[in-house]
Each structure stands twice: as structure tokens, then as C-alpha cells.
């Protein structure tokens, strides 16, 4: 019998330290950029304003990342629930500021390392393979404030020290790694991914591209280190991928779509997978006013990029995007995180993210045919408001429907010939939203009793999707 997925397929779930651990100031942890981000729908407007300088003002705002869902204290209970769902792997990140509280110390914080010893051991106890993102939207705040974030080349040294510390400590137990979460998101969220806000240079694309270069070099250094430590280790890049359509067959829109694909979907992977800057780099620099002669780039950087490309491509997929360059009446009201216009063929989530399972099949084919490297869907899911029934149950059929259709699209892509390693839906347990800091934007199979104002028991309970996903994994994706 032919099966839809290989027997080694990595089914699991994904989270990020800053969005669930809490304990933001415990056991020597320093502040991270995520700790300075207020909660609420205005989050991006606040951090994107001219005068935002990372000041934490608890009189004015709430900071949901400080408490997260208290996973730091409840990780054993949470991992037991993941194990009950038959997880084969669990993708989580290491909070950089737990290991190097200010980012520029020479020696790590042992208490922080011990926390991840325990977390990893807890996964392994159940046969769950840890998949670690080294840096997921949470660089130490000091690196953003004192050094100006990733535009500063010194960050390479600090990241290298961090990566070397965690790779050395955990490589025997952890085979799968990713260097940076959604590295290509800097056009949209420079604060999260590069530590850049307007007051330290985010408005100037010279800084964004300089920061990218520094991150590419840092990532290759991590790949090199990892391979020296363990020959079968696999280190991936990680991008946010939005399949991008032209709204119609107008060649003007088709060209704009091609350009958007290159700049947004492929620029970072072209460098990190192929090991060299793509042919369209000069055109892109010219468009964004980047002076290549002012970029700090050493000759040995390019050799490093060439010699140490990533082993696989991790990516998040939530939505597709549509491009309309010509119609003055184009509807851009859609709240798609990544911009674009409304696609009349698609429905959107309550947050305006356009739901498109076919777009996932296309994404998988586009990425695989371009690079021929294994792919790993390390985020996917539906952020929705869940209602708790009087008896405590939660009927999240909309989430099951979303995931089912995306898993079917994955199976179609595998039948198309795509090499797909695994699937870790986002926020397998409810956690703080990255774009809005809300708790009410829930993705989990596990409900966490906590509201947007930080009120709740933090009790965990199983949604209807919990048993559904458990069965999906049990049948290796044959029954969805």
C-alpha cells in the first residue's frame, strides 16, 4: 500500500520561548526585545512609531510575554500532553537572554542552560525529538539598545558564542536545528527579527540589508560549528513563505509578482541554500536605495556562505498574498500580515489572514523545485477565538478543518515529488501572539485559561482538535 507520508515523518508542534515560557526575569535571565513589546492590537503600531526606543512602561502598557503561559514552571505537564498526542518532535526555541542575559558576556548563565537540559530530557523521555530554533524573535534587549541590533557586525561574534554554547551543550541529544526564525521577515517586522526600530535605523534599508548579511554569516558559522560537532546533524534556515499570486493576467501585475517573490520569498533562501547572493541583488539594492559599496562585507564572508549552506529549509505557511499594481480601486483593506490585496477566491481568518491550502501545495513545489533540499513545515495554523462550552469542552472544528485541508495539500505535494521532512503546527498549546501580544488569538490543541489582560487560572485543557491530531499522528496522516 502506498502511504501519504514516510514512516520517519516528523509530526509535532511548534512554539517560541518568548511567547510561552514567562519567567522573564528569573534565574539570571536578561531582558529580550520581546519583553519590551506591549500587548494588544496596537503592538506593531507602537513599536513601529518614530519615538519607540524599547522603554518598558508598565504604567501605560501590559507586557504579556513576561508571564507567557508559565511554561517555564509547567513544561513537564505540557510535554506530557504533547506526548499524549503522539508527538514525534517538538520545535521550541532557546531564549538567548536566558543564556547570555546581556548578549555580550563571555560566559553563559548556567541556570539558563540547566533549564534547557531539563526541557530536552523531558522530550527525550517520551521519545520526542527536539527541534531547536537558536534565535526566535528574542535577541537580548541590550544588543538592540547598545549595539543597534543586527546591523552591527559585532552581533556575529555574540551570536557565534551563543550558538557554540548551545550546540556544544546539546548536540548529542538534538539532531535538528534552525538558525533564525523567519529570517526574511525583516521588511515586515525588523524589530523582532533584527532588533531594529525607527529610532535605531529600521527606516533605512541599508541597515536591513546589512543586518541580513550579518545574519547570513552568523548562520553559516553555526552550520559549520554544528557539522564539526556531529556529522549527521541537520541545520536549517527558516523563512516565512507566502505564496504570491498576480491578481490577474496583466503582465504588469505578473512582473510585480515575480519581483515580490524574489525579494520576499526567495532572497534569504537564495543566499542560505545556494550559498551566494542571487542575480537580482543589484536591482534589489537599487530599488531600496542600498549602496553596496557601503555594506560591510568581508571577502571571507562569501566563502563561508558558499561552504556552509543549510541542510534543509524550514518555513512557516499561514496564508497567501495577491498583488495588484494597477487598479486604483484595489482592496488593500485585508489585514494580511504581509500586505497585498484581497483575493476574491479566499476566505480570511478573524485577523484577515487569507486561508489557502492550495497555496501550501504551490509553496512546497516552488521551494522544492528551486532548491531540491528537504523541506520542513515548522509553522502552520489558524489563529482563532475559542469559546469554552459550559461543560468546559471546546469545539474548534474550524481549526480541524483548516489543518485537515493543509495536511491534504501536503500529501498532494509529496505525491508531486516534494521531499517533506515533517510538520509542526504553530502554537500547539495556546500562547502569546507575536504580532499582537494577544492570548485570544489562539492556535493550540491545548487551551490555556488566560485572557488578554493576564487574568486566568492558566489551567490547561484539551480542545476537540487534541484528539483529532492525536489520531492524525497515530495513523501517520492517513486519517485526517
Helices 397-415 and 357-371 pack at an angle, to 10 degrees, of 30
- Cβ neighbors of 381 (< 8 A, separation 6 or more) are 318, 399, 402, 403, 425, 426, 427, 443
Which residues in 126-193 belong to E strands, given as ranges? 129-135, 176-180
Smallest separation, CB 219 to ligand BG6 (Å): 16
Smallest separation, CB 463 to ligand BG6 (Å): 17
Read off φ and ψ for residue 85, nearest 5 degrees.
Answer: -80, 5
Q: Which of 86, 269 has the CB closer to ligand BG6? A: 269
Smallest separation, CB 113 to ligand BG6 (Å): 23
* Residue in 192, 187, 239, 244 with CA at minimum distance from that of residue 216: 239
Residue sitting closest to ligand BG6 (CB): 435
* Residue in 374, 459, 386, 460 with CA at minimum distance from that of residue 423: 374
Q: Give the separation between CA 140 and CA 150, rounded to whole angstroms.
A: 11
Q: Which of 240, 411 has the CB closer to ligand BG6? A: 240
Which residues in 241-345 belong to E strands, given as ranges? 244-246, 312-316, 321-323
Cβ pair 421, 376 in contact under 8 A: yes
∠166-172-178 over CA atoms, to 5°? 50
Q: Give the separation between CA 403 and CA 387, rounded to whole angstroms.
A: 19
Smallest separation, CB 358 to ligand BG6 (Å): 20
* Residue in 169, 174, 213 with CA at minimum distance from that of residue 194: 213
Q: Give the separation between CA 175 and CA 178, rounded to whole angstroms.
A: 10
Looking at the annotation, which residues are catalytic? 379
- Cβ neighbors of 394 (< 8 A, separation 6 or more) are 386, 387, 388, 447, 461, 463, 464
Q: Which of 211, 242 has the CB closer to ligand BG6? A: 242
Q: Which of 24, 426 has the CB closer to ligand BG6? A: 426
Q: Beta partners for 180?
A: 135
Q: Which of 169, 399 has the CB closer to ligand BG6? A: 399
Q: Which of 314, 357 has the CB closer to ligand BG6? A: 314
Smallest separation, CB 394 to ligand BG6 (Å): 18
Q: Which of 10, 240 has the CB closer to ligand BG6? A: 240
H or E element, residue 238: strand 234-240
Q: Which of 324, 452 has the CB closer to ligand BG6? A: 452
- Cβ neighbors of 447 (< 8 A, separation 6 or more) are 386, 388, 394, 430, 460, 461, 462, 463
The 10 Å Cβ neighbour count of residue 381 is 25
3-state secondary structure labels for all residues of 83-139: HHCCCCEEEEECCHHHHCCCCCCCCCCHHHHHHHHHHHHHHHHCCCEEEEEEECCCC
Q: What are the residues binding ligand BG6 (CB under 6 A)?
A: 16, 19, 137, 181-182, 240, 316, 379, 383, 426, 433-436, 441
Amino acid at each position: 500500500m502506498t502511504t501519504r507520508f514516510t514512516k520517519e515523518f516528523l509530526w509535532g508542534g511548534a512554539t517560541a520561548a518568548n511567547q510561552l515560557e514567562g519567567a522573564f526575569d528569573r534565574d539570571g535571565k536578561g531582558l529580550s526585545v520581546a519583553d519590551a513589546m506591549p500587548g494588544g492590537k496596537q503592538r506593531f503600531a507602537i513599536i513601529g512609531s518614530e519615538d519607540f526606543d524599547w522603554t518598558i512602561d508598565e504604567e501605560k502598557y501590559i507586557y504579556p510575554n513576561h508571564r507567557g503561559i508559565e511554561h517555564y514552571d509547567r513544561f513537564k505537564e505540557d510535554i506530557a500532553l504533547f506526548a499524549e498526542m503522539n508527538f514525534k518532535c517538538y520545535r521550541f526555541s532557546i531564549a538567548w537572554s536566558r543564556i547570555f542575559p546581556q548578549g555580550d558576556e563571555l560566559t553563559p548563565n548556567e541556570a539558563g542552560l540547566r533549564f534547557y537540559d531539563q526541557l530536552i530530557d523531558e522530550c527525550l523521555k517520551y521519545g520526542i525529538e527536539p527541534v531547536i530554533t537558536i534565535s526566535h524573535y528574542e535577541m537580548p534587549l541590550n544588543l538592540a539598545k547598545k549595539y543597534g541590533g543586527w546591523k552591527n557586525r559585532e552581533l556575529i561574534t555574540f551570536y557565534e558564542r551563543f550558538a557554540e554554547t548551545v550546540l556544544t551543550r546539546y548536540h548529542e541529544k538534538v539532531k535538528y536545528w534552525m538558525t533564525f526564525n523567519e529570517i526574511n521577515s525583516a521588511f515586515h517586522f525588523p524589530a523582532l527579527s533584527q532588533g531594529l526600530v525607527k529610532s535605531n535605523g529600521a527606516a533605512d534599508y541599508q541597515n536591513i540589508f546589512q543586518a541580513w548579511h550579518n545574519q547570513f554569516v552568523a548562520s553559516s558559522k553555526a552550520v559549520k560549528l554544528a557539522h564539526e560537532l556531529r556529522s549527521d546533524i541537520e541545520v536549517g534556515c527558516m523563512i516565512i513563505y507566502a505564496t504570491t499570486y498576480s491578481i490577474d493576467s496583466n503582465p504588469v501585475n505578473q512582473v510585480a509578482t515575480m519581483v515580490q517573490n524574489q525579494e520576499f520569498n526567495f532572497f534569504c533562501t537564495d543566499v542560505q541554500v545556494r550559498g551566494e547572493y542571487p542575480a537580482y541583488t543589484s536591482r534589489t539594492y537599487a530599488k531600496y536605495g542600498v549602496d553596496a559599496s557601503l555594506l560591510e562585507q568581508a571577502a571571507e564572508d562569501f566563502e563561508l556562505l558558499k561552504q556552509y549552506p543549510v541542510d534543509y529549509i524550514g518555513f512557516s505557511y499561514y496564508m497567501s498574498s495577491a498583488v495588484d499594481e494597477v487598479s486604483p480601486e484595489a482592496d488593500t483593506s485585508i489585514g494580511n500580515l504581509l500586505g497585498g490585496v484581497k483575493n476574491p477566491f479566499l476566505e480570511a481568518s478573524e485577523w484577515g489572514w487569507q486561508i489557502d491550502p492550495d497555496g501550501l501545495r504551490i509553496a512546497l513545489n516552488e521551494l522544492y523545485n528551486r532548491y531540491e533540499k528537504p523541506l520542513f513545515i515548522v509553522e502552520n495554523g489558524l489563529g482563532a477565538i475559542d469559546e469554552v462550552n459550559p461543560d468546559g469542552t471546546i469545539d474548534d472544528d474550524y481549526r480541524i478543518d483548516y489543518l485537515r485541508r493543509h495536511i491534504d495539500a501536503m500529501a498532494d505535494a509529496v505525491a508531486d515529488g516534494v521531499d517533506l521532512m515533517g510538520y509542526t503546527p504553530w502554537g500547539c498549546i495556546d500562547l502569546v501572539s507575536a504580532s499582537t501580544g494577544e492570548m485570544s488569538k489562539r492556535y493550540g490543541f491545548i487551551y490555556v485559561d488566560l485572557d488578554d489582560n493576564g487574568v486566568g487560572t492558566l489551567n490547561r485543557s484539551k480542545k476537540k482538535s487534541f484528539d483529532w491530531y492525536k489520531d492524525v499522528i497515530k495513523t501517520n496522516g492517513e486519517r485526517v
